[in-house]
Structure 1
Amino acid sequence: MSGPETPGIVDAHHHLWVRARHPQHWIDPTTMAAIDDDFEPADLVPLARAAGVTQTVVVQSIAVEAETADLLGLAADDALIGGVVGWVDLTAGDVAERVDRLRAGPGGELLVGIRHLVQAETDPAYLDRPDVRRGIAAVGAAGLVFDLLVRRHQLPMAARLAHDLPEVRFVLDHLGKPAPADPAAGDWARSLRALAAAPNTTAKLSGLVTEVDGSPWTPQDLRPAVAHALDAFGPDRLMFGSDWPVCLLATAYQRWVEALSELLGHLGAAERASIWRHTARRVYRLGAS
């Protein structure tokens, strides 16, 4: 199977960076040599077009507000990018004003969400903190999505947050990073279902290949996680994301599209269309591509 049967895919999760402008200190040049480079819109366009992608959402990669402003400027000049998930300091007392400033700049109308690198936080109660929750509530009040970037052990905290803030739309990145061979996978499955029980949540089928131990990987390695996500959220609350260029640590862009197409092949056409395009357009309130 070469990929989805029709074009019009929305890639709901990718990154862009130029290291001279925004250093990516998290990239280890030894173990992450495949992405120790600059990645700009011109690098993505041919890959996306070849895969049938007609619209994307670019997501922040560092906790710097200036990066978000630059991504919005890039999006304003790039017909492929339909939305930007940026970053603001959630603990600041003026989150609403910071969002307004971003929206007032070039491409500001393309700001569709905010994300914080919760996976890197050492505080086990980070998303339970009143100051953080006030910031996330302000993000929701501004009409923006909050992307949840959490690891498996942080999923219960994310579920509490989503249930306690029903007015905020939450999107779980990378399914909370399941590890198919991890003996704690059962805990991940239970935690994912607890999060999915909150109707204001959706999730991205993204970032899964970089969680598979060893190489090479096959679609079968990912089938249990995808099947559980389908059961927990349903196709109308799941969306495709490439996680490019991070995915290059484990796979090419086209191969991930083909693998996911194989894993979704048993679904009906309408269900597949939800995952490949409709959920992202609805949740992120994207314009026509």
Structure 2
Amino acid sequence: MIRSVDAHVHLWNRATDPQPWIDPVTMAAIDRDFAHGDLERMLDSTGVEVAVVVQSINSAAETRRLLTQPGPRVAGVVGWADLTGDVAAQLDELDAAARRRLVGIRHLVHVDPDPDWLGRPDVGAALDRLAAAGLGFDLVVRSWQLPLAATVAAAHPGVRFVVDHLGGLAEADDDDGWEAGLRELAARPNTYAKISGLAGLVSRGEGARLRRAVGVALEAFGPDRLMYGSDWPLAELGAGPVAWRGAVDELIGELSPAERQAVVSGTASAFYRLGT
């Protein structure tokens, strides 16, 4: 059994996979490349056994590199595929080893030029094909996109969805609207959520907002549909991965041992089918 899983980390080499969104002034802490050695040191510092590496750009080439350059602490890769194209053909292009490492697919929905991308009929058909292939789908959306995500999840009950970063709370300007959207999504039993992407709330001293957010998530999803993620290296822009892990441990401290284990390992292992 995997003791602990960081369900959301990134690796990038900007020579092959540029990250133009990184501002060298305001994001100096992550204005560099991050490789497997960096990941291992981060995991050691947070006391986590393995991680799921998540795509950072909508690029088949990046996904191939992540899949063909495995590290010893990488339990799986959430890659990218063109869901408006022939998904089955794209998966068939992967060799057996790469296919085993691929545990999910993500598209940067929150920055897609088409605000209705997630609701497109061809995307819906592709989501069903992902489910048939045993792959889940990571939802990276802003809070205002949560109602659409809930509609899509209801329309595709065979697809397993996990919403990253608690549905974009950190960027939300209406916490009540965010809460309503997250609860609407959580009402679909095929949806899960990552307690991730919120290290900035710790560094900004927004403890009450963070406690409310995790409390809402625990009530709406329950521990068996929640998973811990550091969102490293982006966590370096906030409190850092060590402080973030400590904050999560404190926030789930009143749960039972079995419930805490679900959040830090069991849910991610089951959702991504790690170690199978």
Structure 1 length-normalised TM: 0.91
CA RMSD of aligned residues (A): 1.8
Equivalent positions of 1:194-213 (< 5 A) are: 194-210=184-200, 212=201
In 1, distance between residues paired with 2:120 and 2:151?
Answer: 12
Equivalent positions of 1:36-47 (< 5 A) are: 36-47=31-42
Partner of 2:160 in structure 1?
169
Equivalent positions of 1:183-262 (< 5 A) are: 184-210=174-200, 212=201, 215-217=203-205, 219-262=207-250
Equivalent positions of 1:150-165 (< 5 A) are: 150-165=141-156
Partner of 1:267 in structure 2?
255
Q: Which amino acid aligns with 1:25?
A: P
In 1, distance between residues paired with 2:193 and 2:212?
Answer: 16
TM-fit CA distance, 1:52: 1.9
Residue 22 of structure 2 aligns to a residue whose secondary structure is coil
Residue 203 of structure 1 aligns to a residue whose secondary structure is strand
Q: 1:31 to 1:105 in 2, by over 3 A?
A: farther
Residue ranges of structure 2 left out of the alignment (5+ in a row): none
In 2, distance between residues paired with 1:181 and 1:110?
Answer: 33
Q: Which moved more, 1:130-139 or 1:35-44?
A: 130-139
TM-fit CA distance, 1:108: 2.7
Q: Per-residue displacement from partner, 1:214-243 (whole Å, max 9, x unpaired)?
A: 953354441010000000000110000000
Partner of 1:48 in structure 2?
43
In 2, distance between residues paired with 1:269 and 1:42?
Answer: 31
Residue 49 of structure 2 aligns to a residue whose secondary structure is strand
Q: Per-residue displacement from partner, 1:216-275 (whole Å, max 9, x unpaired)?
A: 335444101000000000011000000000111112211110011111111111110000
Mapped contact 2:142–2:171 kept (Cα < 8 A):
no
TM-fit CA distance, 1:168: 0.6
Partner of 2:121 in structure 1?
130
Which 4+ stretches in 1 moved above 3 angstroms? 179-182, 218-221
In 1, distance between residues paired with 2:98 and 2:170?
Answer: 37
Mapped contact 2:203–2:239 kept (Cα < 8 A):
no
Mapped contact 2:87–2:126 kept (Cα < 8 A):
yes
Residue 177 of structure 1 aligns to a residue whose secondary structure is helix
Structure 2 length-normalised TM: 0.95
2:132 alignment partner, one of 117, 138, 141: 141
Residue 113 of structure 1 aligns to a residue whose secondary structure is strand
Q: Per-residue displacement from partner, 1:147-171 (whole Å, max 9, x unpaired)?
A: 0000000000000010100011101
Residue 37 of structure 1 aligns to a residue whose secondary structure is coil
Pairs aligned (count): 275
Q: 1:179 to 1:38 in 2, by over 3 A?
A: closer
Q: Which amino acid aligns with 1:147?
A: D
* Identical aligned residues as a percent: 52
TM-fit CA distance, 1:282: 0.5
Q: 1:219 to 1:261 in 2, by over 3 A?
A: farther
